[in-house]
Amino acid sequence: MTGALRHPLLIAAPRATSAVLSLLAVLLGWELLARALAGSYLLAGPVEVLAYLRDHAGLMSRALSVTLREAMLGYLWGNLAGIALAALALLVPRLERLVQSLALVTFCLPLVATGPILRVLYGPGIGPQVTLAALAVYYTTFVPVLVGLRATPAAWLDLVASYGRGRGSELVTIRAMASVPYLVTGLRIAAPAAFLGAMVGEFTGAERGMGVLAIQAMRSLDVEATWALATVASAVSIAAYLAVGALGRLLWSDRPPVILSAVPQDGPDPAAHRRLGRAGLPLLTVLVVLALWWGSMEAFGLNRFFARRPADVWAFLVTSDAAAEHRAVLLHALGETLAFVLPGYLAGLGLGAVLAALFVLLPALARVALPVAIALRSVPIVATAPLIVLGLGRGAAGTITIVAVMIFFPTLIACLQGLRQAPGQVMDVFRSYATPPLRTLLLARVPAMLPAFFASARMAVPAAVLAVTVAEWLATGTGIGNLMALTTSTSDYNMLYASIAAVTLLSAAAYAGVGALERRVLAVYAPEQVRT
Residues 73 and 141 placed together within one structural domain of the fold: yes
Domain end point (choices 229, 259, 289): 259
Give the confidence band of 266 by pLDDT, cuts at 50, 70, 90: very low
Please name which of 446, 442, 444, 441 lies closest in space to residue 425, comparing C-alpha atoms.
Answer: 444
What's the CATH number where 188 sits? Answer: 1.10.3720.10
Structural domain contains residue 16: no
Residues 253 and 323 placed together within one structural domain of the fold: no
What range does the domain containing 518 cover? Answer: 300-531
Whole-number pLDDT of residue 68: 93
Structural domain contains residue 26: no
Give the confidence band of 80 by pLDDT, cuts at 50, 70, 90: very high
Exposure string for 184-215, b = 16+ CB within 10 A, e = fewer: bbbbbbbbbbbbbbbbbbbbbbbeebbbbbbb
Contact 89, 95 (CB under 8 A): yes
Q: Per-residue pLDDT averaged across 460-465, rounded?
A: 86
pLDDT tens-digit map of 293-342: 899 888 888 888 888 899 999 999 999 999 999 999 999 999 999 998 99
Sign of CA dihedral 449, 455, 460, 463: negative
Contact 287, 216 (CB under 8 A): no
Residues 150 and 53 placed together within one structural domain of the fold: yes
pLDDT tens-digit map of 88-128: 888 888 888 888 888 888 888 877 778 778 887 887 788 88
Give the confidence band of 379 by pLDDT, cuts at 50, 70, 90: low
pLDDT tens-digit map of 519-528: 888 887 766 5
Structural domain contains residue 237: yes
Residues 167 and 305 placed together within one structural domain of the fold: no
Whole-number pLDDT of residue 5: 47
Residues 72 and 212 placed together within one structural domain of the fold: yes
Whole-number pLDDT of residue 528: 57
Give the confidence band of 2 by pLDDT, cuts at 50, 70, 90: very low
Question: What is the CA 479 to chain-centroid distance, rounded?
Answer: 21
Residues 327 and 190 placed together within one structural domain of the fold: no
More confident residue, 251 or 95: 95
Residues 349 and 436 placed together within one structural domain of the fold: yes
Structural domain contains residue 32: no
More confident residue, 275 or 352: 352
Structural domain contains residue 242: yes
Structural domain contains residue 423: yes
Whole-number pLDDT of residue 252: 67
Question: Please, which residues have CB within 8 angstroms of residue 104's CB and are 6 or more apart in sequence?
Answer: 139, 508, 511
Residues 123 and 49 placed together within one structural domain of the fold: yes
pLDDT tens-digit map of 179-222: 887 888 788 878 888 888 888 888 777 888 888 888 888 778 78
More confident residue, 42 or 214: 214
Domain end point (choices 259, 275, 291): 259
Q: What is the mean pLDDT of the chain?
A: 81
More confident residue, 443 or 371: 443
Residues 255 and 339 placed together within one structural domain of the fold: no
Whole-number pLDDT of residue 62: 93
Domain end point (choices 196, 226, 259): 259
Structural domain contains residue 3: no
Residues 305 and 247 placed together within one structural domain of the fold: no
Sign of CA dihedral 250, 449, 466, 115: negative
Whole-number pLDDT of residue 530: 53
Domain count, the chain: 2
Whole-number pLDDT of residue 13: 58
Contact 386, 462 (CB under 8 A): no
Question: What is the CA 320 to chain-centroid distance, rounded?
Answer: 37
More confident residue, 439 or 19: 439
Residues 253 and 305 placed together within one structural domain of the fold: no
Residues 110 and 176 placed together within one structural domain of the fold: yes
Q: Per-residue pLDDT averaged across 349-377, rounded?
A: 78
Q: Is the pLDDT of residue 257 over 60?
A: no
Please name which of 446, 368, 453 lies closest in space to residue 410, comparing C-alpha atoms.
Answer: 453
Structural domain contains residue 112: yes
pLDDT tens-digit map of 392-412: 777 788 888 888 888 887 788
How far is 75 from 195, CA to CA, in rounded Å?
8
More confident residue, 420 or 287: 287
